[in-house]
Amino acid sequence: MKGAVSSAVSLLAGTLIGFIATSQVLLWLNSETGCSDAPHETAIPGRPKSRLLFVGVMTAEKYLSTRAVAIQRTWGKALAGRLAFFSSGTSRWENQDEELPLVALRGVDDAYPPQKKSFLMLKYMHDHYLDQYEWFMRCDDDVYVHVERLERFLRSVNSSKPQYIGQAGLGNKEEFGQLSLEPDENFCMGGPGVLFSRETLRRLVPHVGSCLKRLYSTHEDVEVGRCVRRHVGIPCTWSYEMQTIFYHNFFGEVALKGRVRRREVHRSLTLHPVKDPREMYKIHAYFGGFRAQELRQRSLQLLREMRWAAQAYGGCATPAQIQSPWCSGIVNGSSSLSEMPSLTKFFPGEIQDLLTWDFFSKSLYSDQVTNPRRRMETFHEVSINNVISDLMELTNRYSKQRGRVIEFKDVLYGYHRLDPLHGADYVLDLLLTYRKYRGRKMTLPVRRHAYIQQPFSQLRIREVASQKTRRPVVRFVLPLCGRRATFERFLRTFRAVCLEGDDACTLLVVQFRHQTEADDLEGTLVAEEVLGVDYDRGRVEFVPGSGEFSRAAALELGASRFSAEELLFFVDVDMVFDAGVLRRIRSHVTCGRSAYFPVIFSQYDPAYVGGVTEHRVAMEPRVAPGEGYWRQFGFGIVAICRSDLAAVGGLDVTIRGWGKEDVDLYDRVVASNLTVVRAPDPGLVHVFHPVECSPSLPRTQYEMCLGSKWNSVGSEQTLAALIAENHLDLLARNFRR
């Protein structure tokens, strides 16, 4: 009995000693892999941790606070798996406010090329996470990954087989034939990202040491590909499509300009390179907005299906049915949204309600503006390009099943209109190419008409808390020459809006002597008379101008009185404004970034506007149909920082007389790096006054003056009614012709 107990104790002791010894050996082996302990990561709250993908991002210590943080805050948050950043052994992350899953690889530095870093990163993934994830990805810190598309792609591929997926490369022209690659060999380019299946990593990593000892080039992606080919026996995926889904821009950095939907961006799983972290955030916001649009489209489609089902089966007819939640979204506020697409949704009750179409080819033709023929504006081009992109994506959705693809070539012409209740309508004449690659192959040019409707989605309201920030002082600069009654009206407006309301504004009047003594005035005396006790010489200042009146010279002289960071507002004495103008100026103008050129509302001659007196026009100006028009061709009213004005060269003081100095300044601001904010401002009204155009003006200025003069007479409808009422003989004569 004692012997049996002794044998049992000996067996147990041997087992424990063997287990401890084996554990120590394994721990020692793991410590020799050249990697530190696995970083601690917490699961996303309310969402189980996915075991699909482990992404290793190769970076350097100097990029941890920029590129690495940008990745973690953008596509890293939505990753279906685990994310880790691999850097040199001396790298540390000391920001206590934000965790960063950093792996410092022992014995590795941040020198280029990162061959050792790349191989040891793969070894780290193998040693710590091989049995926990199906796929492993190696990528750089300047790549954007569309994680939703990548997840769908990976779930369609068998991860139990050896897979080595990426954009196949053979080297550039200078290196072709110098990378020791056989004619049938390739490698996966490391920049856009490389995917390894679990089985590939299992077969590859035991040979990492020998691969590191046998390097034939300085490119780590070439050597990884060579090692995979030698020890796993598979090449990088030979597929033309990989150039699209693992997108690499060979001509520079990936950047999204405007809102144009580029084909390579919307088909890609990864985008490379994105070296500026700010672009990483922009791209992420772009895809987030596009995802929100897809969800709104899906919601709209469901509303239509509900409406169709209700009509087909007789639902939502009785009062009891209408009150049900199922019918409320159809019958109530969303009824117009749930209508099926049609170009005849809106039926005008009167002729003025008729929706007109704008025609475009190389130029845009419209009856809604003063200039009926003009170039296509940027927002028109972007909207049309986006519509065509959506149309071609919808057309080619099942191209693989049908064995054909249709490619867009050009828009020959088209029509566009906006239905305020339903959305934007398009009629496009498209030049396409039809390519059939299954069965009898053919390529044919085709021309088709497309009838498209972009419906509005449901109204969404988001409350934004007001932010109390420092309000910059708005410096009014006013050129003045005579016109006492008009100046008095301007001072009364300035007192009501600025002196009695918003205290963060001043007025600088650049006053020129008038040619006739009767029209001349003393500005300070007029200010004392109009403002009374509100007159503050520190806030209402007068500067004399020399020589003949010139608006450009007056504004340049006034601007020179302020420091570089001041916010200037160039205004005319004929303007009437409200407090909302000051809010918009502060909102739209940022020094070094943007300038504000508002579109003002200009009044018609009250003699041709029925029911409107000159007194009401001058004392109670308002924005109303038939009483004026939006002066799209005027650029004289502008808000800009003093430093930005100097950066674009200021105003051209050689321009004398009426006009042109505003267009010249606008053109130079547009050509600069400043963003031009231009929109109708309902708080700025140009009060009507007779315009005298001197024949002595240069021809260009004289024509501009005449155009402004006759545009301000009255609306087209008013003038047409006037001719029909008083000059029927002219109409009869024209009809006889």
Q: Which residues lie closer than 8 Å to 433 by C-beta, 6 or more apart?
A: 406, 407, 409, 443, 444, 445, 446
* pLDDT at 97 (0 to 100): 86
* Domain boundaries along the sequence of the chain: 51-275, 291-340, 352-455, 474-690
Q: What tokens were used for 212?
A: 């590191």
Residues 51-275, CATH architecture: Alpha-Beta Complex (3.90)
* pLDDT at 660 (0 to 100): 77
252 dihedral zone (left: phi>0; alpha: psi -120 to 50; beta): left
* pLDDT at 14 (0 to 100): 45
Q: Report the DSSP beta bridge partners of residue 505.
A: 474
| Closest-CA residue to 526 (of 498, 484, 482) | 484
State whether residue 174 is helix, strand or coil.
coil
State whether residue 710 is helix, strand or coil.
helix
Taking only the tens place, the pLDDT of each residue in 668-697 is: 999 998 999 999 999 999 888 777 777 777
Mean per-residue pLDDT of the chain: 82
- Please tell me the CATH code under which domain 474-690 is placed: 3.90.550.10
Please indicate whether the domains covering 51-275 and 474-690 agree at the CATH topology level. Answer: yes
* pLDDT at 255 (0 to 100): 60
Tell me the percentage of the chain whose pLDDT exceeds 90.
42
- Evaluate whether 341 touches 455 at the Cβ level (below 8 Å): yes
| Closest-CA residue to 141 (of 61, 198, 200) | 61
DSSP 496-537: IIIITT--SEEEEEEE---SSGGG---HHHHHHHHHGGG--T
pLDDT-derived band at 616 (thresholds 50, 70, 90) equals low
| Closest-CA residue to 170 (of 154, 181, 156) | 181
Taking only the tens place, the pLDDT of each residue in 105-155 is: 999 999 888 999 999 999 999 999 999 999 999 999 999 999 999 999 999
| Closest-CA residue to 207 (of 180, 179, 232) | 232
Rounded-to-integer distance, Cα 630 and Cα 599, Å = 6
